[in-house]
C-alpha cells in the first residue's frame, strides 16, 4: 500500500510504502488528540485493513501488555522505514538516490528468482 499526503499546493508526496502487518494512523492513540493529517492510500495488491478506535486499543494494552509490545514493534518498524527513506532521498545525487531506493524496495518487496529480484509494484 502506498501511503501519501496531498499538500495545499496540490503536490502529492509518498510518505510510506506499507507491507503486510504495517501500522498507520496511530498518532491519536499516542497523543490523545485527533490528528489533522489526512492520508491517501493506494493498494497494489489485495489487502485487508483492520481498524480500531483508540479507546479499544488502550483497553487491549491495559488488559494484555503483549498487545502494547506488538504495537511498539510495529511503530518501531515504521520509524526505521521512515529513517531509511529520509537517508535514501537526501543529500545525494539523483542516480545515488535511485540506486538506494531500489535497494530498499528489493529488501522490503523483492521477490527473488533465478534471474534476479523482481519488484512487482507499479510506481512512478
- Under DSSP, the state recorded for 21 is T
DSSP class of residue 44?
S
In a domain, 102, yes or no: no
Say if 112 falls within a structural domain: no
Domain-located, residue 118: no
At 31, which CATH number?
2.60.120.10
45, 31 contact by CB (below 8 A):
no
In a domain, 77, yes or no: yes
Give 67 or 123, the one with higher predicted confidence.
Answer: 67
Q: Which residue has the higher pLDDT, 58 or 112?
A: 112
Predicted TM-score of the model (pTM): 0.64
* Numbers of helices and strands, H then E, in the chain: 4, 5
Residue 120 counted as domain residue = no
Segments forming the whole domain that contains residue 56: 2-89
24 falls within a domain:
yes
Taking the C-alpha atoms of residue 61 and residue 63, their distance in angstroms, rounded to an integer, is 5
* Cα distances (angstroms) measured from residue 123 to each of 21, 25, 94, 110, 120: 21, 23, 17, 14, 9
Q: How many domains does the chain have?
A: 1
Residue 18 counted as domain residue: yes
User: Mean pLDDT in the chain?
Assistant: 82
Per-residue model confidence as pLDDT tens digits over 46-103: 899 888 888 888 899 899 999 989 888 888 888 887 787 777 777 678 888 888 888 8
Which cell numbers hold the place of 54?
A: 483508540
Amino acid at each position: 500500500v502506498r501511503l501519501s499526503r496531498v499538500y495545499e499546493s496540490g503536490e502529492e508526496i509518498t510518505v510510506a510504502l506499507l507491507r503486510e502487518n504495517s501500522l498507520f494512523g496511530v498518532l491519536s492513540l499516542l497523543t490523545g488528540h485527533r490528528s489533522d493529517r489526512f492520508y491517501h492510500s493506494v493498494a497494489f495488491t489485495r489487502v485487508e485493513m483492520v481498524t480500531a478506535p483508540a479507546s479499544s486499543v488502550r483497553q487491549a494494552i491495559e488488559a494484555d501488555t503483549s498487545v502494547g509490545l506488538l504495537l511498539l514493534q510495529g511503530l518501531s518498524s515504521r520509524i526505521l522505514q521512515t529513517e531509511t527513506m529520509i537517508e535514501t532521498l537526501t543529500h545525494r545525487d539523483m542516480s545515488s538516490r535511485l540506486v538506494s531506493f531500489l535497494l530498499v524496495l528489493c529488501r522490503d518487496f523483492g521477490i527473488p528468482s533465478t534471474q534476479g529480484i523482481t519488484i512487482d509494484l507499479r510506481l512512478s
